[in-house]
């Protein structure tokens, strides 16, 4: 199935503010890219990479080529677990050590 259907008609996640001002939109995109960089560092132990899709969705990729398109950060974490086949436990001591070192 084409991922384009996931781009249309998605409501913004509460984490993202709506704006029509060009400079505010640029700030929103910059913050989105920063968020993606942080998420990618946090997902290193699970071998999942995240990229932006037109500022509206996230594309998750596994090392085996599996991909999934999600519309917000909440879906991102659930699908990262599915792609990696591992549970992401944010309270796991070794995981907390990893994210504090990146």
Domain positions in the chain are 20-101
Average pLDDT estimate for 14-41: 81
Interval 86-102: pLDDT, tens? 998 989 999 899 888 87
Q: Can you give the pTM of this predicted structure?
A: 0.75
State the number of CA atoms in the 13 A half-sphere of 65 facing the CB.
0
- Looking up tokens 């509460």 gives 14
CA dist., res. 1 & res. 100, Å (int)? 38
Structure tokens belonging to residue 63: 């090392």
pLDDT at 18 over 80: no
State the number of CA atoms in the 13 A half-sphere of 30 facing the CB.
6
- Looking up tokens 């990696």 gives 84
In the sheet where 67-70 sits, what is the strand order? 49-53, 57-61, 67-70
């Amino acid at each position: 199935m084409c991922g384009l259907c996931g781009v249309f008609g998605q409501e913004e996640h509460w984490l993202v503010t709506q704006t029509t001002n060009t400079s505010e939109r640029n700030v929103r995109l910059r913050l989105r890219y920063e968020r993606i960089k942080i998420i990618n560092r946090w997902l290193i132990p699970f071998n999942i990479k995240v990229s932006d899709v037109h500022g509206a969705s996230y594309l998750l990729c596994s090392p085996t080529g599996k991909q999934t398109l999600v519309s917000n950060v909440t879906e991102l974490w659930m699908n990262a677990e599915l792609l990696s086949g591992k549970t992401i436990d944010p309270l796991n001591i070794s995981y907390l050590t990893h994210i504090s070192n990146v």
